[in-house]
Structure 1
Amino acid sequence: MTVWTEHLSRLGATLAETQTTAAPLPSVRFAAATDEARAASESTVVVPLLHLGIIRSVGPDSAAFLHNLVSNDVNKLPADGAAWNSFNSPKGRMIASFLMWAEDEGHGLVLSADILPAFLKKLSMYVLRSKVKLANASDTLALIGVCGKNAAAVLQTAGIEMPAADMRQTLTADGVRCVRIDAERYLLAVAADDAAGVFDALVAGGAVKAGTAAWQLSMIRAGLPLVTAPTQEEFVAQMLNYELIGGVSFHKGCYPGQEIVARTQYLGKLKKRMYRVAAAPGIEVVAGMDIHAPDFGEQSAGKVVNVAPTADGGIEALAVIQSSSAEAGQLRLGAGEGATLELLPLPYALG
């Protein structure tokens, strides 16, 4: 255990790891899943984001290096900016999705911890003669999420400098980086040795301690997906609504998979989109699980992307589904006779 996780344990946290198809995926909880989901719905919560990791890209060529590899325009990222981004296979399928921000000497990339080691290895293969160094900074930087209607007030009470707008960031003199995802969701990156003090200040400022699932539920309700090991290379960016949340630039130069992403945007109608769905209590749902619908018979009509428990014991999830199946509204989990899924609204239009 680290100083950070030992502090969380003293606060009553239960730490766990789930073995995915790649590396273990850490998680944390402070209370029952239903209670934490209720807190995420009714209060402002502070969450140790142990399920996420961070890669730092440092060097004079960092922007040019990343710009040539990822889906968004790194060269135009403001010094105080942040953006959703992705790295894709030559077939245009997402290998990793991440939140990227600019730093004085490079960039930070926040992604799912279970795919980080393999992704870092793959990314490093492209460095060659570029003046850039890539490193897993997850042991030296702790990530903390704050979400809820009073998130901004809690952060200000804790002495965190507030970003001016969505997808902007601040960096305090003592090294606390704050990224505003939207008005109700903020991500902090802080030196691991200082994380306990920042976390306690946020609790003192009015936030409720909550675990991984509370943050995941908030992100699902915001329609913000995260590629994890079970869903790697399953989706083209637009299937995950990535162009709708600002994760794709159609005006930059080439990058791996760019031709497929551009063709999907400009030729023909997109047949699959990401939707928000719900299942009743007692139904087990995991990322990568197939979704079926009558119009596709025994073939899969979709796949679960992210899932989190709700206050009533059910689940909410993001799922990529054939649009025709979603419009018909007869969605079932797993086999054709599986549990029924209910479509829920997203905070943005699918177009």
Structure 2
Amino acid sequence: MATVTASTPALGSVRLNHLAALDVKGADAEKFLQGQTSAQVSLADGHFAPLTCFCTPKGRMLANAQLMRLGEEHYRLLLSNTLLDSLASHLKKFAAFYRAELTTQRDLVFIGASDEAPALAEQLGLELPDRVGTHTNNDQVCVIRYPGETPRWLLCFDNDSKVDVASLQDDQAGRNAWQLEDIRSGLAWLTDTQQDHFLPQMLNWEALGGISFKKGCYTGQEVVARAHFRGQVKKRLMRISIETTTLPEVGASVVNGDDKAVGEVVVSAPDHQGGVELLAVMSTKVAEETMPLYLDGAPATLLPLPYAIERVDPEQLAVSLNG
């Protein structure tokens, strides 16, 4: 467990080294992705950037990502850098049957920004998107509006851009601030530690519009759909605060008063009061019953999420964002 040495600062602009990009290009790029991902790929229209995920045949998540169309026959997936190589290797087994090429983009710079985002976008000659889940892009940069109480954007660009990358904040405190906004938004990005472990619904992915139940088949689709329509999801992503000065490990157990495990940590970050906030996949009984919760002996408290645990169709979301 890592010790929290200081309160999390307000968002400025910071390098986000935990992210990576996988590009998919070619005449069959859309058709290829349509058979592998939970998103309705046609919704990625150069404006709307749908959330998506890739699953095993048993419906377990190999990666979750955000999907953008950057140009004709050119798509980009943003995901955890710990999953970049494994997802690329997995998808290349299927891409061999399509006119589609996968490229891991290792030289891109990822910047999370709030107040400083307009100035960065101006340097790059791009307008900021004003609605969560939408993006703008040119041949230098793509910018996505992220959720959160604080307006914030993710900028992704080449090292040889007009931005002085060396002058941007590059420290863990800044990344913690960004991570805390993700947590408060109820948004968890899968890492290699828990790959092939969760159904998408366990990360509330359908409540975030990350699963299309109206598209055709994709790998794992049958299991994901059956879990949804038969109400078989007994674990859900929940937000928790802990009275502690140390960050828990990914996968650490949240227990009840009888010391029985009722959940596991997915992501955590220090809050502004010297404690920790986290997202954990928890038994749904935790929300249905009042029970004490602990993590490594520290009291834990359930906090509200900013969305309801109900299905959000990305097709309807796209219409609302483009309206």
User: TM-score scaled to structure 2, two decimals?
Assistant: 0.85
Runs of 4+ in 1 over 6 A off after TM superposition: none
What residue ranges of structure 2 are gaps of 5+ in the alignment? 311-323
Match of 2:95 in 1: 127
Contact 2:146 2:153 in 1 (8 A): yes
CA RMSD of aligned residues (A): 2.6
For 1:34, the aligned partner's letter is A
Q: Please, which of 264, 276, 285 is the counterpart of residue 324 of structure 1?
A: 285
1:179 corresponds to 2:151: no
1:71-101, Cα deviation, whole Å (9 max, x unpaired): 1111232122211111011111111011111
In structure 2, the residue corresponding to 1:38 is in which secondary structure?
coil
- C-alpha separation in 1, matches of 2:306 and 2:277: 14
- C-alpha separation in 1, matches of 2:60 and 2:217: 15
Match of 2:321 in 1: none
Contact 1:47 1:210 in 2 (8 A): no
Give 1:199 deviation, angstroms.
7.5
- C-alpha separation in 1, matches of 2:54 and 2:157: 25
Higher mean alpha-carbon deviation, 52-61 vs 71-80, is at 71-80
For 1:38, the aligned partner's letter is P
Q: How many residues align?
A: 302
Give 1:299 deviation, angstroms.
4.9
Contact 2:16 2:110 in 1 (8 A): yes
- C-alpha separation in 2, matches of 1:316 and 1:275: 11
Contact 1:291 1:301 in 2 (8 A): yes
In structure 2, the residue corresponding to 1:82 is in which secondary structure?
coil
Distance 1:171 1:289, change over 3 A: same
Match of 1:145 in 2: 112
In structure 1, the residue corresponding to 2:131 is in which secondary structure?
coil
Match of 1:74 in 2: 41
Match of 1:48 in 2: 15
Q: Please, which of 14, 36, 39 is the counterpart of residue 10 of structure 2?
A: 39
For 2:300, the aligned partner's letter is L
Match of 2:265 in 1: 304
**Relative CO higher for 1 or 2, CA cutoff 8 Å, sep ≥ 6?**
2
Percent identity reads: 35
Contact 2:43 2:50 in 1 (8 A): no
Contact 1:250 1:262 in 2 (8 A): yes
Give 1:186 deviation, angstroms.
1.1
Contact 2:255 2:263 in 1 (8 A): yes
User: TM-score scaled to structure 1, two decimals?
Assistant: 0.79
In structure 1, the residue corresponding to 2:67 is in which secondary structure?
strand
Q: Please, which of 53, 63, 74 is the counterpart of residue 96 of structure 1?
A: 63
Match of 1:24 in 2: none
In structure 2, the residue corresponding to 1:101 is in which secondary structure?
strand
Give 1:160 deviation, angstroms.
3.8
In structure 1, the residue corresponding to 2:164 is in which secondary structure?
helix
1:62 corresponds to 2:32: no
Contact 1:92 1:236 in 2 (8 A): yes
What residue ranges of structure 1 are gaps of 5+ in the alignment? 1-17, 19-31
Higher mean alpha-carbon deviation, 54-63 vs 276-285, is at 276-285
Match of 1:113 in 2: 81
- C-alpha separation in 2, matches of 1:84 and 1:72: 7
Contact 1:33 1:311 in 2 (8 A): no
Give 1:270 deviation, angstroms.
3.1
Contact 1:33 1:310 in 2 (8 A): no
Equivalent residue runs for 1:145-164 within 5 Å: 145-147=112-114, 150=115, 153=118, 160-164=126-130
